[in-house]
Amino acid sequence: MDLETGAVLRGNLHLVDLAGSERVDRSEATGERLREAQHINKSLSALGDVIFSLAQKSQHVPYRNSKLTQVLQSSLGAILYLKCFFIIYAS
């Protein structure tokens, strides 16, 4: 609560583990690891599509293309008020 105005402030914190999102050909992953890496990479691509659509102020934003973008929809939809958005890649 803002003590000066009495306004109630709300925020979201989403922690998403994208471990395994690497170049499939370099990792030589097989089986379940390969499917997981492909799924994560598809989700990251969908996230990029959503951010691009929001930046272009498109009439249609493809939130439904991935569970990741569906979960982040409430945060990404308010991108005008977004304070920070991090994608951290650790090798």
Give which of 27, 75, 67 is closest to 46, Cα–Cα: 67
Q: Is the pLDDT of residue 26 over 90?
A: no
Mean pLDDT value of segment 22-36:
75
Could you tell me which residues come within 8 angstroms of residue 28 by beta carbon, excluding any fewer than 6 positions away? none
Mean pLDDT value of segment 30-52:
86
Q: What is the pLDDT of residue 6?
A: 86
- The pair of structure tokens assigned to 21 is 């999102």
Q: Is the pLDDT of residue 90 over 80?
A: no
CA distance 9 to 33: 41
Tell me the pTM.
0.68
Mean pLDDT value of segment 52-76:
88
Buried b (16+ CB within 10 A) or exposed e, 39-78: ebbebeebbebbbebbeeeeeebebebbebbeebeeebee
Higher pLDDT, 31 or 46: 46
